[in-house]
């Protein structure tokens, strides 16, 4: 995997192939802080499952998590918005902050392999 430049001149690693093995390898290499939770979630919900129905939801969650974590500036922005919303006393402002954070998360989740 190579890194792709962002608009700000920083580089982030590209998204891996869209499968659990490739995603885990990318997390291990570029976002190791997520690895313990990824592995725990995998063992709890997928590894010994007789039904593969939970795999798409698992991939959606961790695809999005990695898409954010591979870009520290983007991840920090999302967490900042969420933290500000938690402290905001004005409901409309808190809602706007959460919606902005959610929009960033949704956009990250749509990132394709190689991007």
Q: pLDDT, tens digit, for every residue of 86-110?
A: 999 999 999 999 999 999 999 999 9
Question: How many domains are contained in the chain?
Answer: 1
**For position 57, what pLDDT does the model report?**
94
Q: Which of 56, 24, 57, 60 is nearest to 40 (CA)?
A: 24
Question: For the chain, how far is it from start to end, CA to CA, in angstroms?
Answer: 11
Q: Are 41 and 55 spatial neighbours (Cβ–Cβ below 8 Å)?
A: no
Q: Can you give the residue range of the structural domain that contains 104?
A: 16-109
d(CA 103, CA 93): 15
For residue 9, is it within any domain?
no
d(CA 69, CA 29): 12
For residue 102, is it within any domain?
yes
For residue 115, is it within any domain?
no
**For position 7, what pLDDT does the model report?**
41
pLDDT in tens, 19-35: 999 999 999 999 999 99
Label residue 10 by pLDDT band (50, 70, 90): low
Q: Where are the alpha helices (DSSP H) in 1-115?
A: 20-30, 35-42, 55-69, 72-87, 91-109
pTM: predicted TM-score of the whole model, two decimal places: 0.85
For residue 7, is it within any domain?
no
Q: Are 45 and 54 spatial neighbours (Cβ–Cβ below 8 Å)?
A: yes
Q: Are 42 and 33 spatial neighbours (Cβ–Cβ below 8 Å)?
A: no
For residue 87, is it within any domain?
yes
């Amino acid at each position: 995997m190579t890194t792709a430049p962002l608009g700000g001149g920083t580089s982030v690693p590209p998204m891996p192939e869209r499968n659990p093995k490739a995603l885990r390898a990318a997390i291990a290499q570029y976002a190791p802080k997520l690895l313990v939770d990824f592995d725990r979630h995998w063992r709890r919900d997928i590894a010994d499952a007789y039904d593969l129905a939970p795999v798409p939801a698992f991939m959606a969650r961790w695809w999005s998590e990695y898409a954010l974590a591979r870009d520290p500036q983007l991840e920090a922005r999302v967490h900042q918005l969420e933290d500000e919303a938690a402290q905001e006393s004005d409901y409309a402002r808190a809602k706007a902050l959460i919606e902005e954070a959610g929009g960033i998360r949704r956009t990250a989740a749509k990132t394709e392999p190689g991007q």
